[in-house]
Structure 1
Amino acid sequence: MNLRRLMFDMMLAWENPGSEEGLLKNNSTLCNTVEIEDEDEGSIFYANSTSLAVQVNDMKTVGLSAFTRIAPSCPIIADLVTVHNLFDALTCSSGGRLHYFVYDKYLKSLDRVFRSIKGVMQSSLASSFNLDAGECILAIDGDKPIHPVLQHIGISAWPGTLILTTHALYFQSIRVGYGDKIVKYDLATDSNQVIKRDFTGPLGVRLFDKAVMYKSSTLTEPIYFDFPELGSPSRRNYWLAITREVMQVNRFIRKFNLEDIQRAEALSKAVLGILRYSAVKEAFHIAPSHFKTTLTFSLAEKLPKGDMVLEALYNNYFQLLDTSLSHLATEPAVDKAPQTHSVPFSLYALSRMGFNLLNRKNETEKEISFCAVCVGVTKSLEAALQESFLYSERIEAARATVDQVKVEGLDANVALMQVC
């Protein structure tokens, strides 16, 4: 029995304790169907409707409670802050029940995303950017002629390769007479930064809604990154979402003065969130946004009372890590054995996958050991999330009310004030 099947069986057991009827069988017809579906990389939501109906009828499913309790135990699969939204994304076409073939397809997509990013990190292209120690590449675009990225400054525009890391945006322009110049836009230290969707066009004319605008206190004028494509601006929206997540996690780091292990853990949470977001997008062609996003720090920023979520995350998780590390630092080594670095949940998971986010050039996997998270530290975080989600539901209801009464000429503020 593989880990994917084991975790799903654990979810089934959570919903039906003591029952073995729901456990999946190794020789089920469903597994063969899933493998065939994955061979052509087709989306499960576009499978033959008759075949899909047969699979659903023959399949045990799990609900929200089981998924939110079991899935976050593996930080690669889910995060406590966004697990509800991840479940909604995976069950948007199945009436709020998670089928194994959807869960399995998500995990296989996640594995492909990890392998792809790891391949980029080990490529010659990555080495040409001279990344800092602990800096991890999250996305790359414009490296293929069929999917160009254009950088607009004033009325000038030129193609190039765009890379997002945990620290910055890099643009390697392709300009005649200039060589392959690389420009870095720091996302980690500058607090006066803005990134948003915008229009671009030839000679500075605002025609196409396919770009993101970035400006900071270190730039004399805004920079526009254009993602030309037919149809909806899905590439632009993806880059806008993941770049905002990097900005938000670095704001969180600056706000609470996180350093070393704490800082690496915060970045690890953001990295895993971005990779999960990419996996859902690639597997199911959906990219949840606003209150439904699966990006941890972006969700906390968008939710009402999201500051309470971040406070709870810091007070009941990152401060605990600081206490644990201080305690370990004061303990003498036993028999003068070399001390290992005690690292938290997400950072450990990434290190096992071959990613190193610590600011140490010679850090090896053997030097990293797992620091268990104490049971019960998530209670106040769950309480803060529950209150925040409650307010977000009330705001959504208020917005629906506003849309309904607009034709009657009522003031929108009346409905919105009811959530206060």
Structure 2
Amino acid sequence: MLKFILASRKRNDNQAKLLERNTFQGKLVGEEAFVRIAPAVSGVADCPTAHNLFRALAGDDKGISFSIWSTYINELLKVHEGRKSYQSQEFPQVSKEKVLCLGSSRKQPVIKWEKNMAWPGKLTLTDRALYFEAVGLVGEKDTVRLDLTRNDSRVEKTKVGPLGSNLFDSAIAVSSGPESESLVLEFVDLGGEMRRDVWYAFINEVISLYKFIREYGPKDGDQSVFDIYGAQRGKNRAVTHAVNAIARLQALQFMKRTLEEPTKLVQFSYLQNAPYGDVVLQTLAVNFWGGPIIKKLTDSDDETDSDVRSTGEIPESSNHVFDIDGSVYLRKWMRSPSWGSNASLAFWRNTSVRQGVVLSKNLVVADMTLVEKAAMTCRDKYKVAEKTQATIDAAMIEGIPSNIDLFKELVLPLTLTARNFERLRRWDDPLVTASFLALVYTLIFRNLLSYTFPVTLMILSAGMLVLKGLKEQGRLGRFFGKVTIYDQPPSNTIQKILALKEAMREVEKYLQNVNVVLLKIRSILLAGHPQVTTEIALVLLLGSTILLLVPFKYILAFVIFDLFTRELEFRRQMVIAFMSFLKEQWEAVPAAPVVVLPFEDKESATEQKTQVEKVKPERTQSRS
């Protein structure tokens, strides 16, 4: 009987567990809940990049399922377990460093390119440096170390190929300073295209980490870190955050759920270029190095605040930064210029928690921590920037004819304005032209020109606001404001080559005409033809005299009168004769001479110069 009861109870427990598992399988965690809860688990997510991690895990779904989450956790644990199994005995210099990841396998080799030669090898990334161990022809190993903690360390994507060609877009160039040679590494990935980008994110995160420490952390050897509780461990906290971020990116790489830009998943690299990222980095610095005061600050520790309490406390009016739990971040550590930005000043003025209960600087009930507040603002600004960039990318149309059509469509309002003005000038509608001239001369002789530009701006702003209101009411339609152009007809390769050749010929002709005009102006200014220079100088002198003696409104009235009477019968022949005279005079102006020297290689020229310098002393010795 007892066995039957135990078996029945066990069966019921299994059914309950199965039911609970099925219940979890059908649920999805949304972005808002994930961003709020996931960073609370140490190492699982960072607050600044939690929304990007959600997008990577969710993919095209609206949320994260339990199976995806459990797979992510399992892969993350495998990454941490794998780091423990890395053998560091091969590199004695790595004994004090933490190995983060290795890059070497038969399916995914790492190739070093140097002087058009490709050398396979083993790549090791630690929390301080990058090691590449090339395999020689006779089995000899040559290890190259690049220090990633230096100020001038950088990494960038590049292309490599045989014989200096940029054939393969799967490499990066890493250097630890301007004096060191760049290490060009190609990441061959037979199963995908993201390996180079992921390794770029790994290395860039380490470089960004130490850039963050230099800008926002205390200097090396600063004794004031012992005055703040826990400040001496701030650097280790920052390194731990970067190490965990790289581990998460590795786990996502194994799951094949990375974003198109893997740098968005590692916080220090992401915040270097994100809008409002400087403020988020400031909150992280306060979180890492801030803490309660355990020792009375000296004058050197607080140069801006001489009113230090005997108990070691700092008044609220000091220039130090305070976290929500009262932790202090010293003023002398604020070396980054970003602390003086308007966004930073506005953020730190409103850091108090008005609602909720502060349990610690990393845990607030019914409110957010400083890092969460700054990260939320950064996330919102980044979404706006992404939408703006998406519109810019959509406007980048390929093909010269399509871009010409788009340009014509965009300048259509200006074209219509020019056409209407030309109709006014030609007196196609005499009543409209006469009314326009009456208005213009009224503005001129009533001294109302100074009000023209402000009134124009007022009319423009009023029109924009009216359009905004009509669009919000939905009275302009969904397609209002969109630019529409027609695609080009299909053409074969020969037609495209001929069209390109014709376009290049037109561009060449246009450049030749522009160069001729510039050469003629140069000849006039530099007295290349003295008679023409004298005539132009006298004309300019006469014009300047008229501008000095005659009021501007009369000159403007005369110009408008001349402009609107050129096409009339009583002036047409006079204008034609005058324009012909100007054309003849312009064609008679000679262009400045142009001398085209033969091509000469700089290296060969320097070699010839050195040879000549060597021959000269030999000749002097032989003569003596």
Under TM normalisation by the shorter chain, which class is it?
0.5 to 0.7
**1:111 equivalenced with 2:77 (yes/no):** yes
Equivalent position of 2:267 in the other structure:
296
| Distance across 1 between alignment mates of 2:121 and 2:294 | 43
Equivalent position of 1:173 in the other structure:
134
Which has the larger share of strand? 1
Equivalent position of 2:188 in the other structure:
228
Equivalent residues in 2 for 1:8-157 (5 A)? 27-28=17-18, 59-95=26-62, 97-120=63-86, 123=87, 126-132=88-94, 134-142=96-104, 144-157=105-118
Larger radius of gyration: 2
- Shift of residue 83, structure 1, vs aligned partner: 1.4
Equivalent residues in 2 for 1:205-284 (5 A)? 205-217=165-177, 219-230=179-190, 232-258=192-218, 260-283=232-255
| Distance across 2 between alignment mates of 1:271 and 1:58 | 31
- Shift of residue 248, structure 1, vs aligned partner: 0.5
- Shift of residue 112, structure 1, vs aligned partner: 1.2
8 Å CA contact 2:107–2:190 kept in 1: the answer is: no
Q: For 1:202, which of 141, 147, 162 is the aligned residue?
A: 162
- Shift of residue 253, structure 1, vs aligned partner: 1.1
SS at 1:197 equivalent: strand
- Shift of residue 290, structure 1, vs aligned partner: 4.3
Which has the larger share of helix? 2
SS at 1:206 equivalent: coil
- Shift of residue 166, structure 1, vs aligned partner: 0.5
8 Å CA contact 1:209–1:233 kept in 2: the answer is: no
8 Å CA contact 1:290–1:302 kept in 2: the answer is: no
- Shift of residue 146, structure 1, vs aligned partner: 3.3
- Shift of residue 132, structure 1, vs aligned partner: 5.0
Equivalent position of 1:379 in the other structure:
369
Equivalent position of 1:361 in the other structure:
none
Larger mean Cα displacement after TM superposition, 303-312 or 161-170: 303-312
**1:319 equivalenced with 2:285 (yes/no):** no
| Distance across 1 between alignment mates of 2:370 and 2:180 | 44
SS at 1:164 equivalent: strand
TM-score, normalised with respect to structure 2: 0.46
| Distance across 1 between alignment mates of 2:41 and 2:269 | 21
SS at 1:94 equivalent: coil
- Structure 1 residues 59 and 374: alpha-carbon distance in aligned structure 2, compared to 1, 3 A threshold: closer
What fraction of aligned residue pairs are identical, expressed as a percent? 27
8 Å CA contact 1:30–1:101 kept in 2: the answer is: no
| Distance across 2 between alignment mates of 1:153 and 1:219 | 17
Equivalent position of 2:454 in the other structure:
none
| Distance across 1 between alignment mates of 2:214 and 2:248 | 24
Greater RCO (CA < 8 Å, at least 6 residues apart): 1
- Shift of residue 140, structure 1, vs aligned partner: 0.4
| Distance across 2 between alignment mates of 1:303 and 1:289 | 16
8 Å CA contact 1:291–1:303 kept in 2: the answer is: no
| Distance across 2 between alignment mates of 1:231 and 1:268 | 30
- Shift of residue 159, structure 1, vs aligned partner: 1.4
- Shift of residue 172, structure 1, vs aligned partner: 0.9
Q: Deviations over 1:312-351 (max 9, x none)?
A: 2112x02324x46769xxxxxxxxxxxxxxxxxxxxxxxx
8 Å CA contact 1:106–1:280 kept in 2: the answer is: yes
SS at 1:98 equivalent: coil
8 Å CA contact 1:210–1:226 kept in 2: the answer is: yes
- Shift of residue 133, structure 1, vs aligned partner: 5.9
- Shift of residue 153, structure 1, vs aligned partner: 2.0
- Structure 1 residues 133 and 179: alpha-carbon distance in aligned structure 2, compared to 1, 3 A threshold: closer
- Structure 1 residues 74 and 25: alpha-carbon distance in aligned structure 2, compared to 1, 3 A threshold: farther
| Distance across 2 between alignment mates of 1:59 and 1:148 | 41
Residues matched between the structures, number: 312
- Structure 1 residues 157 and 291: alpha-carbon distance in aligned structure 2, compared to 1, 3 A threshold: closer
- Shift of residue 405, structure 1, vs aligned partner: 4.3
SS at 1:128 equivalent: coil
| Distance across 2 between alignment mates of 1:220 and 1:69 | 44
| Distance across 1 between alignment mates of 2:109 and 2:77 | 26
Q: Which amino acid aligns with 1:222?
A: S
- Structure 1 residues 65 and 292: alpha-carbon distance in aligned structure 2, compared to 1, 3 A threshold: farther
8 Å CA contact 1:291–1:302 kept in 2: the answer is: no
| Distance across 2 between alignment mates of 1:257 and 1:202 | 44
- Shift of residue 387, structure 1, vs aligned partner: 2.1
Equivalent position of 2:608 in the other structure:
none
- Shift of residue 218, structure 1, vs aligned partner: 5.3
SS at 1:28 equivalent: helix
Q: Which amino acid aligns with 1:312?
A: T
8 Å CA contact 2:154–2:177 kept in 1: the answer is: no
8 Å CA contact 1:82–1:296 kept in 2: the answer is: yes
| Distance across 2 between alignment mates of 1:320 and 1:269 | 16
- Shift of residue 174, structure 1, vs aligned partner: 0.8
- Structure 1 residues 114 and 324: alpha-carbon distance in aligned structure 2, compared to 1, 3 A threshold: farther
- Structure 1 residues 325 and 107: alpha-carbon distance in aligned structure 2, compared to 1, 3 A threshold: farther
Q: Deviations over 1:118-158 (max 9, x none)?
A: 111xx2xx21212456521111012x333321111222331
| Distance across 1 between alignment mates of 2:142 and 2:132 | 8
Q: Deviations over 1:29-76 (max 9, x none)?
A: 685xxxxxxxxxxxxxxxxxxxxxxx7996122222322222212112
| Distance across 2 between alignment mates of 1:87 and 1:388 | 16
Q: Which amino acid aligns with 2:382?
A: S
8 Å CA contact 1:160–1:173 kept in 2: the answer is: yes
